[in-house]
Amino acid sequence: MTPAARVQAAIEVLDLVIEAARSNGAPADRLIADWFRPRRFAGSGDRRAVRELAYRAIRACGEVPQSGRAAMLRVAAEDDQLAALFDGSRHAPAPIAADEAMAASGVAPQWLMDRLAASGVSETEAAALLDRAPLDIRVNTLRAGRLTLPEGAERTVAANGWRYPPEARIEQTPAYASGAIEVQDTGSQLTCEALSARPAELVIDLCAGAGGKTLALAAAMENRGTLVACDVDRTRLSRLAPRAERAGATMVETVLLDPNREIQALERFAGKADAVLVDAPCSGTGTWRRNPEARWRLTEKQLARYVETQARLLDMAAGLVRPGGRLVFVTCSLLDDEGATQAQGFLQRHPGWQALLPALPAGTARRQGIRLSPFHDGTDGFFVARFGCV
Ligand SMILES: C[S@@+](CC[C@H](N)C(=O)[O-])C[C@H]1O[C@@H](n2cnc3c(N)ncnc32)[C@H](O)[C@@H]1O
């Protein structure tokens, strides 16, 4: 593909991304892969370049743009070389008209910017949510016997964490194939450390998904004790078993939950767990580095639903913890509604509990919890609170 044809391709891809954002359709990565499937003439360099252009435009526009072309014009407004490719030649975008509308630049839709500001997130800190994320890994101590790390790693503040540049490819390395390393953001690793899971304990990971945090907990527990990984999403949870096998985490027990009747499958653990992790479903404002189009999808109504579910899951989780046990609440969000305010609500509803600020090597205290952010900590954005049952 010529450079100009790549720009036109990115515009077409962006139209699909915009439509999907409005109709809750597929994520951008999937749309890009689908767009290329019938276009066999495109090589890997073309795919990379189109993907890069599309994501540049997604990051540049705070509000949902009116069209893919308007979004690309926003990027071209600051890049003369790109603007010159709008020349109307074969497969190229049409020339730019003098009065042509372009999308407004910005970090996120205004309502979200307002919510972030009300949560103490400055505009600069919010903008850092759109940086490119590095590739962080966790050394899996269950498999790390004779580990040779792929070259180029730097230590992070996480106990077993290392960092590579964003473009690093480690999935093909022997260390990855043997299960000795896992891809996991440093912030995510730190939220697991906040639970202080120990060998021989009974630990419940209530919202385990495909088990990113479960595997870190299994390693902290040295694969000894009981680790129960739950989720309402059968597909996500089904991905956990093969990952656990690869990681040598044979202790993991999975439990599929029935939405709104979660407790039924967990009654046998009531009042018994040493520690429960609630890595709750949330808006994901802290993960825009990886999914920048997520900010175009979120609505105030969806956010309210997340907040309601988080409170319900926290209340349920409290009933699983034994006296003297601990509960860690995590969201990958910088919004107080899903963080400090949620934690405060929990403490008001449960007078027998107290907040115990987790001692983490990064992050900033935000009322009863800790906030991690790309701007301050170089991690994805998270809120983590730790509660003790007295
Ligand atoms: C932030 S993700 C978890 C990510 C996972 N812990 C990890 O580290 O990869 C939130 C998870 O909560 C799950 N979830 C949503 N509603 C739930 C509910 N009512 N009970 C349990 N899990 C729920 C979602 O399916 C999703 O997998």
Secondary structure letter of residue 172 according to DSSP: T
The secondary element (H helix, E strand) that includes residue 75 is helix 68-76
Q: Report which ligand 1 atom has the smallest distance to the Cα of 277.
A: 6
Report if residue 114 sits inside a domain: no
What does the radius of gyration of the chain's CA atoms come to, in whole angstroms?
22
How many angstroms separate the alpha carbon of residue 308 from the centre of ligand 1?
14
The verdict on residue 205 lying in a domain is yes
Q: Whose CA is nearest to atom 7 of ligand 1?
A: 212
Identify the CA nearest to 197 among candidates 366, 378, 381, 358. 358
Give tens-digit pLDDT for 326-364. Answer: 999 999 999 999 999 999 999 999 999 999 999 999 999
The reply to whether 212 and 256 lie within a common domain is yes
For residue 122, tell me if it sits in a domain.
no
Quote the CA–CA distance of 170 and 147 in Å, as a whole number.
14
pLDDT of residue 251: 97
pLDDT band at 238 (very low <50, low <70, confident <90, very high): very high
For ligand 1, the distance from its centroid to the CA atom of residue 231, given in whole angstroms, is 6
The domain in which residue 282 lies consists of 186-389
Instruction: Round to whole Å and give the CA distance between 377 and 380.
Output: 8
Position 319 scores a pLDDT of: 97
Q: Residue 268 and residue 261: Cα distance in Å, rounded? A: 14
Residue 146: pLDDT above 90? no
Instruction: Read off the CATH number of the domain in which 148 is found.
Output: 3.30.70
Nearest C-alpha to atom 1 of ligand 1 is from which residue?
281
Label residue 91 by pLDDT band (50, 70, 90). Answer: very high
Q: Is residue 121 part of a domain?
A: no
| pLDDT bucket at 259, cuts 50 / 70 / 90 | very high
CA nearest 138: which of 29, 50, 213, 234?
Answer: 213
Report the distance separating Cα 302 and Cα 121, nearest Å. 21
Ligand 1 atom 10: residue of nearest CA: 281
In sequence order, which residues have a C-beta less than 8 Å from that of residue 118 and are 6 or more positions away?
Answer: 336
CA atoms within 13 A on the CB side of 22: 10
How far is residue 278's CA from residue 268's CA, in Å, rounded to a whole number?
18
For residues 281-285, average pLDDT: 98
Q: Are residues 315 and 168 in the same domain?
A: no
Confidence class for position 40, pLDDT limits 50, 70, 90? confident
Closest residue by Cα to atom 26, ligand 1, is 209
Q: Which residues are catalytic?
A: 332
Q: Is 22 exposed, middle or buried (0-12, 13-18, 19+ CB in 10 A)?
A: exposed
Both 268 and 153 in one domain: the answer is no
Q: Residue 333, CB half-sphere, CA atoms under 13 Å: how many?
A: 28
Cα–ligand 1 centroid distance for 349 (angstroms): 23
CA–CA separation, 294 and 130 (whole Å) = 11
Residue positions counted in the chain: 390
Domain membership of residue 197 (yes or no) is yes
Ligand 1 atom closest to residue 309's alpha carbon, by position in its atom list: 19
Q: Are 177 and 362 in contact (CB under 8 A)?
A: no
Which atom of ligand 1 is closest in space to residue 213's alpha carbon?
8
Evaluate whether residue 115 is within a structural domain.
no
The answer on 215 and 74 residing in a single domain is no
What is residue 112's predicted lDDT score, i.e. its pLDDT? 98
23 with 45, same domain?
yes
> Which of 136, 215, 232 should be mutated for ligand 1, with most atoms under 8 A from CB?
232
- C-alpha distances out from residue 309 to 27, 100, 112, 280, 344, Å: 23, 44, 20, 8, 15
pLDDT on residue 337: 98
Q: Mean pLDDT over residues 20-42, rounded? A: 93
**Number of domains comprising the chain:** 3
pLDDT band (50, 70, 90) for residue 298: very high
pLDDT of residue 389: 87
**Closest to 287 (Cα-Cα) out of 229, 209, 341, 195:** 209
Q: Which residues contact 24 (CB under 8 A, 6 or more apart)?
A: 297
Rounded distance from Cα 251 to ligand 1 centre (Å) = 20
| Residues 154 and 251 both lie in one domain | no
- Of all protein residues, the one whose alpha carbon is nearest to atom 4 of ligand 1 is 209
- For residues 258-271, give the mean pLDDT: 95
Counting residues of the chain whose pLDDT is more than 70, the rounded percentage is 100
- Final residue of a domain: which of 183, 202, 219? 183
Highest mean pLDDT: which of 29-38, 165-174, 190-199? Answer: 190-199
Asked if residue 113 belongs to a domain, the reply is no
- Going from the Cα of 369 to the center of ligand 1, the distance in angstroms, rounded, reads 20
User: What percentage of residues in the chain have a pLDDT greater than 90?
Assistant: 96
| Rounded distance between C-alpha atoms, residue 37 and residue 153, angstroms | 34
Domain end position, chosen among 106, 123, 151: 106
Both 209 and 310 in one domain: the answer is: yes
98 and 233 inside one domain? no
| pTM, to two decimals | 0.95
- The 10s digit of each residue's pLDDT in 195-215 is 999 999 999 999 999 999 999
Q: How far apart are CA 304 and CA 40, in angstroms?
A: 43
- What is each CA distance from 31 to 8, 65, 316, in whole angstroms? 15, 17, 37
Task: Indicate if 179 and 190 belong to the same structural domain.
Answer: no
Are 247 and 149 in a shared domain? Answer: no
* Residue of 329, 272, 283 lying closest to 305 (CA atoms): 283
Q: Which residues lie below 8 Å from residue 29, measured CB to CB, with a gap of 6+?
A: none
The label of the residue with tokens 């580990």 reads 147
Q: Which of 183, 213, 248 is the last residue of a domain?
A: 183
Q: Which residues line ligand 1 (CB under 6 A)?
A: 206-210, 212-213, 230-233, 236, 257, 259, 262, 279, 281, 309, 313
184 Cβ contact partners less than 8 Å away, ≥ 6 residues apart: 136, 137, 138, 161, 212, 216
Q: Is residue 128 part of a domain?
A: no
Do 93 and 142 fall into the same domain? Answer: no
Shared domain for 281 and 324, answered yes or no, is yes
ipTM over 0.85: yes
329's tokens = 């609440």
Give the domain CATH number at 243. 3.40.50.150
Binding-site sequence positions:
231, 258, 279
For a mutational test of ligand 1's pocket, the pick from 186, 207, 320, 342, i.e. the residue with the most ligand atoms closer than 8 A to its C-beta, is: 207
